[in-house]
Chain A
Amino acid sequence: MSNIPAELKYTESHEWVRLESDGTVTVGITEFAQDALGDIVFVELPKVGTTFTAGDDAAVVESVKAASDIYSPLSGEITEVNEAVAGAPESINANAYDAWLFKLKPADVSQLDGLLDAAAYGKSTAA
């Protein structure tokens, strides 16, 4: 059974999203996703200042097995990327919820309500 922290929001495509006190959101991939991908060896992060619409390709995570697109869970502008994870991609395997990929400033924070909560995400990955 994968670890699914209750305080986060989730997408069907296995990103986790955390609303920060400054109004930005932090995005990473879930424990379930890192486990399915296997040994992660490369991460491509977006550029700070890029604007995405919810569902756009924002980053790429490559494991030994395959390359996976990471989608922007919300519309907004990239404010910060995690260079440390680009330098140590295996840190995603070690702790998927610490190894965030990027932060973005949402265009409309109410889009968060459309994401899955932990219980719903747990159901979607249990199948």
Chain B
Amino acid sequence: MTLKSTPLNNAHRALGARMVDFGGWDMPVNYGSQIEEHHAVRTDVGMFDVAHMCVVDIKGSDVRGFLRRLLANNVDKLKVSGKALYSCMLNPEGGVIDDLIVYFINEDWFRLVVNAGTAEKDVAWMNAQNEAWGTKLTITQRRDGDNAMALIAVQGPNARAKVWEVIAQAKEATAEMKPFNVALVPGTAFGEAMIARTGYTGEDGFEIGVAATQAEALWNALAAAGVKPAGLGARDTLRLEAGMNLYGQDMDESVNPLDAGLAWTIDLISERDFIGKAALQAKGQNAQFVGLILREKGGVLRAHQKVIAASGEGEITSGTFSPTMQQAIALARVPTGVQVGDTVHVEIRDKKLAATVVKLPFVRNGKILAA
């Protein structure tokens, strides 16, 4: 099967990136050293090609009413144009179809950004609900075709300053912008730009959306300004340190989101009904989602290793060696009753090694919070 590629594919090759098959996409895993790219984002500024992710525009009358029923988080938290919200989209059994960010542009237009591997499934699901509910909205994917947009994430303590250097018009629109907000900035050197103060690294920064035809020019301009290209390898260690879930690894359609550390995004309090709500209320929370730090030498924590606690067995869902902390860390689903500060044991090959249960995140804004 031919791999899909983003508009930045040639730019990656020109930089000597190591390319890998990432869920059917030909993507850069690093440009030399994953660890250097990781540190660049924590201490300075790095950028990621996230154009494999898919922008979906939903337009029409009462988009909000549609999203109230479609999403597990409550879009009524989006009161002011430009505000963004993280949410799961659930199936009727309460499984996670995808996790996404929804941006409130105006009452007739909300923009979603969904994961690469789930995009087709997501759009089909949204269309099916649109038809079933007779809501007559226009649901448009913006990843392929003439209307395609590409996303580049610029992250790190110096991200905002560098973006303003490259896109002068962005400064006025975003200087006062709070985290988890978005602005549409017309008339930049790269056409209209969507500039969202969101990201997936635990650092400040912007996710920038431009027409796919402008992506390479924007990427090259950012690189010329000193923004270090970073691959999917660094993106994974950064998001893991930030305690952020990865779809398909930390949760999927078979996992109750309450057990995957996502209870804070599942609105079971308001009167609002949404797909999956009844199932989640019936199931309740049966496990907890925690951080682990390995305390003994003997390997690196990895997904699917067994976690043995006093109250039962759990599983690591994501694990790695943390470049910031210089220790093996993991996200894990463990039995209820496990407390922060407890020692548990992780099976690595033929050994059972001690690990400490910690509160997430491990790292935020360059600082180690869990040690």
A, B from the same assembly: yes
Query: Contact string, B293-318, partner A, CB cutoff 8 A, digits 1/0?
Result: 00001111010000000000000000
The interface centre, meaning the residue of B33, B237, B300, B302 with most chain A CB atoms within 10 A of its CB, is B300
- The contact string, 1 if C-beta is below 8 Å from chain B, for chain A 90-127, is 00000000000000000000000000000000000000
For residue A81, CB closer than 8 A to chain B, the reply is: no
B321 on interface, CB distance cutoff 8 Å: yes
A41 partner, pick from B33, B298, B300, beta carbons under 8 A: B300
Pairwise interchain contact A65-B299, C-beta atoms closer than 8 A: no
Determine whether B100 belongs to the interface, using a CB cutoff of 8 Å to chain A: no
Give the contacting residue for B349; candidates A41, A60, A64, A65; CB below 8 A: A60
Partner of B30 from A38, A62, A67 at Cβ < 8 Å: A38
Q: Which of A60-93 contact B (CB under 8 A)?
A: 60, 62, 64-67
Cβ of B29: which chain A residues have Cβ within 8 Å of it? 38, 65
Chain B's interface size range is 10 to 19
| Complex-state Cα separation, A67 to B299, whole angstroms | 8
* B320 proximal to A (CB < 8 A): yes
- With a cutoff of 8 Å between Cβ atoms, the chain B residues found around residue A66 in the complex are 302
Which listed residue, A38, A39, A62, touches B299 by the CB 8 Å rule?
A62
Q: Mark A8-50, 1 if CB is under 8 A from B, else 0.
A: 0000000000000000000000000000001101101000000
Quick check: A39 and B33 within 8 Å, CB to CB? yes
Whether B237 pairs with A64 at a CB distance below 8 angstroms is yes
By secondary structure, the A interface counts as strand
Provide the bound-state CA to CA distance between A62 and B301, in Å.
10
Shortest distance from the beta carbon of B299 to any chain A beta carbon, whole Å? 6
Of the candidates A42, A62, A64, A65, the one having the most CB atoms from chain B within 10 angstroms of its own CB is A64
Q: Which of B62-95 contact A (CB under 8 A)?
A: none
Chain B positions within 8 Å of A60 at CB level:
299, 349
B321: chain A residues at CB < 8 Å are: 41-42, 62, 64
Query: Which of A38, A44, A67 contacts B34, CB < 8 Å?
Result: A38
How far, in whole Å, are A43 and B336 apart by their CA atoms in the complex?
34
Chain A residues in 8 Å Cβ range of B123: none
Q: Which 6 residue pairs spanning A and B have beta carbons closest together? A: A41-B321, A62-B300, A39-B35, A64-B321, A38-B34, A42-B300
Q: State the A residues within 8 Å of B (CB).
A: 38-39, 41-42, 44, 60, 62, 64-67
Q: List 27 A-B contacts (CB under 8 A).
A: A38-B29, A38-B30, A38-B233, A39-B34, A41-B300, A41-B321, A42-B297, A42-B300, A42-B328, A44-B298, A60-B299, A60-B349, A62-B299, A62-B300, A62-B321, A64-B34, A64-B35, A64-B233, A64-B237, A64-B300, A64-B320, A64-B321, A65-B34, A65-B233, A66-B302, A67-B300, A67-B302
